[in-house]
Amino acid sequence: MKILLVGAGLSGAVIGRKLAEAGHECRIIDARDHIGGNCYTRRDPETDVMMHVYGPHIFHTDDEEVWTYVNGFTEFMPFQNRVKSTTQGAVYSLPVNLLTINQFFGKTMRPDEARDFIAEQADLTIEDPQNFEEQAMRFVGRDLYEAFFKGYTEKQWGCSPTALPASILKRLPVRFNYDDNYFFHRFQGMPKDGYTPMIQAILDHPGITVELNTTYSPDMAADVDHVFWSGPLDGYFGYELGRLGYRTLDFERFTHQGDYQGCAVMNYGDRDVPYTRITEHKHFSPWESHEGSVCYREYSRECGPDDIPYYPIRLVEEKALLEDYIAKAEATPGVTFVGRLGTYRYLDMDVTIREALDTADVFLSGVTSGTAI
């Protein structure tokens, strides 16, 4: 079969690879001048530091098959994300852990004491948190919420945390020990030479052709048996029902001689600091040594029509619109919508790969049984 995959990011590459291995002819197009979507990495020409061009990407998963899959395409180095937060005039460890709690409240509590102490801070009258703020008030209480989450979240999402789903905060654990690993997954690492060679290796199959700087046009679909669309879901339909809301990011690059901040990610919890975080990219490759350093100040804002979409907002109004677009997508034969933009979800890389592998399997079994397309 002839397959067109729109987007050469993780979804397009992983699905394309599986279908190519099954003997199908895969044409992958991407409007940008590089593969990898927002996982794209490249060396900074000035300092040679490996840059996460579209912001930090740390690979973490509990899915052994996905971990084996990515390790089959590139070498991973051990990497654990240890984030810090500057807020109210001090630096703390994230995610909120026993060190954060003891330093913040000026105490020397052991785990059980801290647990009881935080339970006193927490608003236990909130039984079933309905939004981000309620989730925070229920689990960490007002003081920690205001220091670490409220300002950051207002900057990141451009709205009140009461308008955001509780699920966003559920991404972050609260720990009553000194474990400051940002993620709790079994497998964590960073590709030694960045994500671009990994995705290049996935795409490296005789059944796959990749065309960059190539924008989709409907006549391309006429030539193929099936389309996998990893561009924006609403974009496929020409935004005819309106635009799904996204946040975009602006990165303000600056260089420094030596070590600028001593860690890869420094978050800023205060509302009056306009950026959400500073990333210092050489700390994402601690096995390398560079005298020069490149940092990004990261600013979040509403995504305009010409900006790169990063985070799907999924507020109440988007949800209704999303349902309408999903209904249209389901009524569109011959096209499968995949990935973060194609399904309008906040997906981590491991989940994106898992879904891409499963989507390819479902498609291939449909081809075998004659029910595909």
**Catalytic residue numbers, as ranges:** 171, 175, 247, 277, 298, 346, 348
Q: How far is the CB of 257 from ligand UDP (least distance, A)?
A: 27
Q: Is 156 in the site for ligand UDP (CB under 6 A)?
A: yes
Contact 210, 13 (CB under 8 A): no
Torsion sign (Cα): 208, 209, 213, 217: negative
Those residues with Cβ within 8 angstroms of residue 298's Cβ, 6 or more apart along the chain or in another chain: 55, 249, 250, 251, 252, 275, 276, 277, 278, 279
The 3-state DSSP class for residue 72 equals coil
258-290 CB burial, b ≥16 within 10 A, e <16: eebbebbbbbbbbeebebbbbbbbbbbbeeeeb
The span from the CA of 121 to the CA of 156, in Å, is 25
The 3-state DSSP class for residue 239 equals coil
Among 40, 59, 104, 149, binds ligand UDP (CB under 6 A): 149
Q: Is 172 in the site for ligand UDP (CB under 6 A)?
A: yes
Q: Is 267 in the site for ligand UDP (CB under 6 A)?
A: yes
Q: Is 188 in the site for ligand UDP (CB under 6 A)?
A: no
Q: Which stretch binds ligand UDP (CB under 6 A): 147-155, 193-201, 253-261, 278-286?
A: 147-155
**Using omega within 30 degrees of 0 as the cis cutoff, is the peptide bond preceding 95 cis?**
yes
Nearer to ligand UDP, 174 or 203 (CB): 174
Among 6, 29, 51, 94, binds ligand UDP (CB under 6 A): 94
Contact 11, 230 (CB under 8 A): yes
- The residues that bridge with 61 in the sheet, in sequence order, are 187
Q: Is 284 in the site for ligand UDP (CB under 6 A)?
A: no
Contact positions with ligand UDP (CB under 6 A) in 20-79: none
Question: What is the per-residue binding string for ligand UDP in 286-325, x denoting contact by CB under 6 A?
Answer: ----------------------------------------
Nearer to ligand UDP, 117 or 311 (CB): 311
Q: Is 152 in the site for ligand UDP (CB under 6 A)?
A: yes
Residue that the structure tokens 């671009």 belong to:
196
Q: Is 168 in the site for ligand UDP (CB under 6 A)?
A: yes
The conformational region for residue 36 under phi > 0 = left, psi -120 to 50 = alpha, else beta, is: left
Among 85, 131, 135, 279, binds ligand UDP (CB under 6 A): 85
Q: What's the alpha-carbon Rg for the chain, to the nearest Å?
A: 22
Q: Which stretch binds ligand UDP (CB under 6 A): 19-27, 43-51, 111-119, 163-171?
A: 163-171
Cα-to-chain-centroid distance, residue 34: 18
Question: What is the per-residue binding string for ligand UDP in 353-372, x denoting contact by CB under 6 A?
Answer: --------------------
Torsion sign (Cα): 84, 86, 87, 91: positive
Those residues with Cβ within 8 angstroms of residue 319's Cβ, 6 or more apart along the chain or in another chain: none
Q: Which stretch binds ligand UDP (CB under 6 A): 3-11, 150-158, 252-260, 284-292?
A: 150-158
Nearer to ligand UDP, 129 or 269 (CB): 269
Footprint of ligand UDP on this chain (CB under 6 A)?
Answer: 85, 94, 148-149, 152-153, 156, 168-169, 171-172, 267, 269
